[in-house]
A and B are shown apart, each in its own frame.
Chain A
Amino acid sequence: MNLQAIKAIYVHEMVRFFRTLMQSFLSPVLSTSLYFVVFGAAIGSRIDQIEGVSYGAFIVPGLIMLSVMTQSVSNASFGIYFPKFIGTVYELLSAPVSFLEIVIGYVGAAATKSFFIGVIILVTAHFFVDLDIQHPGAMLAFLVLTCLSFSLFGFIIGIWAGNFEQLQIIPLLIITPLVFLGGSFYSITMLPGIWQTITLFNPVVYLISGFRWSFFGTADVPIIASLLAISAFTAICLAIIWWIFRTGYKIRS
Chain B
Amino acid sequence: MPAIVQVSDVVKRYESGFEALKGVDLEIEEGEILALLGPNGAGKTTLISTICGISHPTSGTITVSGHDVVKNYRKARALIGLVPQEIALEPFETVWNSVSFTRGLFGKAKDDAHLESILRQLSLWDKKDAQTKELSGGMKRRVLIAKALSHGPRILFLDEPTAGVDVELRKDMWEIVGKLKQDGVTIILTTHYIEEAEAIADRVGVINQGQILLVEDKATLMAQMGRKQLRIALQEPISAVPESLGSYTLEIAPEGDALVYHYDTTNERTGITTLLNDLQTAGLTMTDLKTQESSLEDIFVDLVKEKP
A residues at B contact (CB < 8 Å): 2-5, 7-9, 11-12, 15-16, 19, 82-83, 86-88, 90-98, 252-253
Contact = CB atoms under 8 A, between A and B. Distances in A.
11 contacts: A3-B107, A4-B107, A8-B101, A16-B92, A19-B92, A87-B86, A94-B52, A94-B77, A95-B102, A96-B77, A253-B14
Given A15-B93, A91-B147, 7 more contacts: A4-B105, A9-B105, A11-B104, A12-B93, A96-B106, A252-B54, A253-B54
A96 B75 contact: yes
Given A94-B52, A94-B80, A87 B105 contact: no
Interface in B47-66: 52-56
Contacts of B109: 4
B56 A252 contact: yes
A253 B55 contact: yes
Nearest to A8: B104
Contacts of A253: 14-15, 54-55
Contacts of A252: 54-56
A12 B73 CA distance: 23
Main DSSP-derived SS at the A contact region: helix
Interface in B87-125: 88-93, 97, 100-109
B255 to A, nearest CB: 57
Interface of B: 14-15, 52-56, 73-78, 80, 82, 84, 86, 88-93, 97, 100-109, 147
A8 B89 contact: no
Nearest to B53: A94
Contact of A94 (B54, B75, B101, B108): B54
Contact of B74 (A2, A15, A90): A2
Contacts, number: 85
B100 A8 contact: yes
Given A93-B54, A95-B77, A88 B108 contact: no
Contacts of A86: 88-91
Nearest to B48: A94
B14 to A, nearest CB: 7
A82 to B, nearest CB: 8
Given A96-B74, A96-B77, A253-B14, A91 B105 contact: yes
A5 B77 CA distance: 13
B14 A5 contact: no
Given A4-B109, A96-B75, A253-B14, A88 B88 contact: yes
B97 A12 contact: yes
A43 B82 CA distance: 59
A87 B53 contact: no
Contact of A96 (B78, B82, B89): B78
Most buried by A among B80, B86, B103, B104: B104
Nearest to A15: B97
- Most chain B CB inside 10 Å of its own CB: which residue of A16, A82, A92, A95: A95
A12 to B, nearest CB: 5
B261 to A, nearest CB: 52
Nearest to B110: A4
Contacts of A95: 77, 102, 105-106
A94 B88 CA distance: 14
Given A86-B90, A94-B53, A94-B80, A4 B108 contact: yes
A15 B92 CA distance: 10
Given A7-B104, A87-B86, A93 B53 contact: yes
